[in-house]
Amino acid sequence: MTVVGAHAADRVLSYCTNVHPAEDLEGLLDQLDTFSGPIRQRLGWDTLGVGLWLPAPVAEELATSPAALARLGERLDANRLVVRTLNAFPYRGFHDDVVKKAVYRPAWGDPERSRYTLHCAQALAGLLPEGGQGSLSTVPLGWREGWTNEHDAAATAELAGVTRELAALHERTGRRVRLAIEPEPGCVLDQVSDLVGWLGPRVASRELDAAWLGVCLDTCHQAISFADPAADVAALREAGLSVVKIQASAAPEVPDPRDPEQRARISRFVEPRYLHQTRELGPGGQVTRVDDLDLALSGLPGAGPWRVHFHIPVHAEPAAPLRSTRDSIGAVLRALARHQDVGEADIEVETYTWAVLPPETAGVDLITGIAGELQWLAETVSTAWEDER
């Protein structure tokens, strides 16, 4: 199985446009001309996938205005871009000066999360080809603090309602849009094991329908938890859950946090916009968790390596002696190929942090950088899937 241009197993390799700040339709259209089209040209690919991020007002406009959706479709076509997946995780304001925990609101259980998700689904269905299939990644219920059994019940009910609407959307349009819950450190569903424990029984009891609800594996999030990618994918399969989407991403690793040079290097990743959950692997295999990098620097013992929730470019190693967890991307792809049809999963690069990367880590302009990530991903997908033929 090989990758030709942007395509792998009849799926389209994409990059996630949440890297671009746009809170209205005009901004969304402009980013396609300014960045996405030039990235495709830099790669020399016939087409390029874009995993669109739609702020809530834009999602509603595209879902309710055929004219607005037509404008978007025309601009995509003009730049030879295709859409197979949307990032329906951030609701809006993803490039505010301070985002942090606000990115997890509204949580599942809040009807506004369902409304936003269905607007995204309607917009995506309008962009898919006849008989096409796509995906939406979404928040792992919400932030863990203050989460109760009542929140659990409300989230289950809202997700059940959304999956029924996705089935109805398929009946009306012939387009299949599936929802993919994305585990993230610090959330109710912190890692894959939490997702299996929560979603698996609800699928088994038919409270929730696995035909319309699956999993988004973010390889940065997986790596931060020091998880075994192959074991995670196998556990999902055993629970009857499908990987609907993969976000190919990497985290920085600090091999020895007590080393002054390494502490100085990772300190340059402290910044005020996004949350950078940090995990330390202790000598006995235990994982110690804190909710941001500054807390790690002031409070973790440093008795073992750290991994930090900071999406770094997948095609380049950070400045030594820091390391990248990008090897986990190939491991996830190989494991997936052993357990399900690899063509079922949408795959995108998601390095939304280019604007806040330390200069020595970014190193290049955005178009060059994202093109480099996509080229690396295409080669990694090809190699991983060839290994499992």
Domains of the chain, earliest start first: 3-251+323-387 (3.20.20.150), 253-310 (no CATH)
Res. 15 pLDDT band, cuts 50 70 90? very high
Asked if the model's pLDDT at residue 224 lies above 90, the reply is yes
Stretch (H or E) spanning 75? helix 66-78
> Residue 368, Cβ neighbours under 10 Å: how many?
13
CA 352 centroid distance within chain: 10
Sign of CA dihedral 140, 143, 149, 151: negative
Stretch (H or E) spanning 296? helix 293-299
- Nearest-angstrom CA–CA distance, 298 and 257: 11
Query: What pLDDT shows up at residue 2?
Result: 33
- Nearest-angstrom CA–CA distance, 165 and 22: 28
Burial letters 238-254, b for 16+ CB under 10 A, else e: ebebbbbbbbbbbbbbb
252-309 pLDDT tens trace? 999 999 999 999 999 999 999 999 999 999 999 999 999 999 999 999 999 999 999 9
Report the amino acid identity of residue 154: A
Closest CA to 254 of 286, 217, 300: 300
Both tokens of 339, joined, read 């357990």
Chain mean pLDDT for the chain: 94
- Nearest-angstrom CA–CA distance, 135 and 244: 7
Residue 36 is given by DSSP the state: I
Task: Specify whether the CB–CB gap between 44 and 52 falls below 8 A.
Answer: no
- 3-class DSSP state for residue 129? coil
Q: Indicate the angle between helix axes 56-64 and 111-127, nearest 10 degrees.
A: 50
CA 156 centroid distance within chain: 22
Query: What pLDDT shows up at residue 342?
Result: 62
- Nearest-angstrom CA–CA distance, 372 and 355: 16
Query: What pLDDT shows up at residue 386?
Result: 72
Both tokens of 113, joined, read 């999360």
Asked if the model's pLDDT at residue 10 lies above 50, the reply is no
In terms of phi and psi (left: phi > 0; alpha: psi -120 to 50; beta: otherwise), the region of 215 is beta
% of the chain surpassing 70 pLDDT: 96
Both tokens of 23, joined, read 């809170």
CA 43 centroid distance within chain: 22
End-to-end CA distance of the chain: 7
- Find the mean pLDDT for residues 113-124: 98
The mean-pLDDT minimum among 5-19, 148-162, 259-273 falls in 5-19
Partners of 53 in beta bridges? 87
Asked if the model's pLDDT at residue 11 lies above 60, the reply is no
Asked if the model's pLDDT at residue 7 lies above 60, the reply is no
Asked if the model's pLDDT at residue 9 lies above 80, the reply is no
181 phi and psi, to 5 degrees? -80, 130
Both tokens of 38, joined, read 């030039």
- Nearest-angstrom CA–CA distance, 47 and 78: 11
Residue 35 is given by DSSP the state: I
